[in-house]
Structure 1
Amino acid sequence: MTTEAIAIVTGATGGMGREIVAELARTHHVYALGRNDDALAELGALSNVTPVSTDLVTDLLGGTEAPSPVARLLDLTRIDVVVHAAAVATKFSVESARVADWRTALDINVVVPAELTRRVLPALRAARGTVVFINSGAGRGSYGDNIVYAATKHALYAVADGLRKAESGAGVRVSTVAPGPTDTPMLERLQAQSGAEYVAEHYIEPVEVARAVRTVVDAGPSAQITDISVRPRIEVGDRKPPRG
C-alpha cells in the first residue's frame, strides 16, 4: 500500500497550471492533465510528475466507451489534492454569445470540475484530501463584454461552497483560489480580443497563484482555508499613466 501523497492538476499546461504542478511536485506525486503535448513533455521532465494528455470534456463528458486517459486516475484509492485549473475564457456579451458558446464554457469551467470531483470523491475521502477550485475576480463581478466567463465562475463558487458543506463530515476540505489579472497566455488573448495593451509587469505572476494553492494545501488539520483572493499589488484600473 502506497503512502505517497498524490495530487491531480487540470489545466496543467496553462500559465498558472505549470506553476501549480511545479509547486506541488515538491511534496506530492502530481498527475498533470492537459492537452498541449509539448508542454506536458516539459512537465514530465520534472521529478514526481506524470503527464496525462487528455481532453477532459471528451474523456469525462463525452459518453464514449473507449478507454480514457484519465481512467487510471479514477481507479486510485487515495488522492490527497485535486486542483481544478482548466478553464476557457473568451469575451462575449449576452448579445454576441450563442448557445454553443455558453455550453462550451459551462462544460469546461463548471461541469468538468464537478464531474471529475464526483468521480474521485471516494479517493479524496480516503485521504481526507483537499479540492482547490481556481476561480477568478470575475467570479464576484462581471462586465458587459465578459458575461459568459463571469457566469461560469459565479457558478464555480456555488459548486465549491456546496461541495465544502456536503463533504465536511467526510473530512474533505474545499477551497477557492481566485486570482485577479495574471500574466498568462489566457489573459494576453483576452486583452488582444479587446484591443487593450498588454503590460506583463502590471499583472500577477503565476507563481504567486501556486503559492496561494500551497497555503491552502498546507493548512493545519483542524482548519480549512475556504477562499483566497489574489490581487495585483496595484490594481490595474488604479495605475496612473506615465507623465510625459
Structure 2
Amino acid sequence: MGTHLITGAGSGIGAAVAARLAERGEELWFLVRDAKRAAQLKAQFPGSNTLIGDLSAPDRLSWALGQQAQPVELDSLLHIAGVVQLGTVGDLTTKVWNETLAVNLIAPAELTRLFLPTLRVSRGHVVFVNSGAGLTASAEWGVYAASKFGLRGLADSLRAEEHGNGVRVTTVYPGRTATAMQQRVRSQEGLPYDADAYIAPESIATTVLTALDLPRDAEITELTVRPGR
C-alpha cells in the first residue's frame, strides 16, 4: 500500500484518481483550501488525511503545512488542481495572471519543493496533470496556456534534477474532459456543454495510475490523452 498526496481531489479528475486509489486501500492525503472541504473529503474517503493550504497563496504554504502533521512517507505527489480564465491578452489584467500562475504553476513548484525530501526517501513519483493547452496555445487561452507551458518546464527540469535520486516525474496532457471546470470553460466560450463529447475523468485516472504502477525499471515521462469520440 502506498501513500499519496493529491491536490484537486474534490471533483473531476482529482476525485476520480482518489476514488481509484481508495479502492486499492492506499493511504490518501488531500491538500484542501479550508476546513469545510477537509470535512467533506474525509466523509467521502473514510480514513483519509487532510492538509489545509491555499494554492492561491503559495507564499503561505510552507508556514501552513509546518503547523500540521504531514505524511512520514510519500509515494506520490499528484498535482491535479487548477483554475482557468479565458480572455485575450489585450483584456486580461495582472490580477488574472497572478491568480492563474499562483494556482497552476507556483503552488505546484512550492509543494514539490516542500515534499521533495520525503519523496526522495521513498523514491516517489511526482505527477503533473497538465492540459492540451500546455502543448498548444489558442486564442483567448493565453494566461492558462502560459501557466501550463510553465508547468511543463517545471516537470522537465525536476525530472532532470531528481532522476539520480530515484524520483520519477510524469506529465499528463488531457484533452477536454467532462468536469465542472470544462462546464465553466464552455460557458466562457459561449458554447454548449456535452459531457458525452469529452473524456471521462475515470479515463484520465487510469492514465495516472498506469504511470504510478509502471515497474521501477522504467519511467513514463509524458502522456497525451485525447477524446476518442
Normalization by structure 2: what TM-score? Answer: 0.92
Match of 2:14 among 5, 12, 17: 17
Distance 1:64 1:134 in 2: 22
Q: What are the within-5 Å matches in structure 2 for residues 76-87 of structure 1? A: 76-87=71-82
Q: Secondary structure at the match of 2:28?
A: strand
Q: Does 1:218 align with 2:213?
A: yes
1:182-225: per-residue Cα shift (whole Å, max 9, x none)? 01111100101111011110011111111111001101011111
Which residue matches 2:83? Answer: 88
Distance 2:94 2:147 in 1: 14
Q: Does 1:131 align with 2:129?
A: no
1:147-190: per-residue Cα shift (whole Å, max 9, x none)? 10011111100000110010000000000111100011111001
Mark the CA change 1:97 to 1:180 in structure 2 (over 3 Å): closer, same or farther.
Answer: same
Which residue matches 1:229? Answer: 224
Match of 2:59 among 58, 61, 76: 61
Match of 1:72 among 65, 68, 75: 68
Distance 2:203 2:38 in 1: 21
Which residue matches 2:194? Answer: 199
Which residue matches 2:33? Answer: 35
- Higher gyration radius (CA): 1
> Structure 1 regions of 5+ residues with no counterpart?
235-244
Which residue matches 2:142? Answer: 147
Q: Does 1:175 align with 2:170?
A: yes
Mark the CA change 1:207 to 1:48 in structure 2 (over 3 Å): closer, same or farther.
Answer: farther
Letter paired with 1:112? A
Normalization by structure 1: what TM-score? Answer: 0.86
CA RMSD of the aligned region, Å?
A: 2.0
Distance 2:51 2:11 in 1: 14
